[in-house]
Amino acid sequence: MAEGIKKGEIKFFLKGKKLKGSFALVKTRIGGKENAWLMIKHKDEFVKKDYDAKKN
Q: Is 51 domain-assigned?
A: no
Q: Count structural domains, the chain.
A: 1
pTM of the model as a whole: 0.76
pLDDT on residue 19: 92
pLDDT on residue 23: 97
* Cβ burial 9-42 (10 Å sphere, 16+ → b, else e): ebeeeeeeeeeeebbebebeeeeeeeeeeeeeee
Q: Is 10 domain-assigned?
A: yes
pLDDT on residue 56: 67
Q: Is 50 domain-assigned?
A: no
pLDDT, one tens digit per residue, over 13-52 is 999 988 999 999 999 987 777 789 999 999 999 988 888 8
Provide the domain limits for residue 11: 2-41
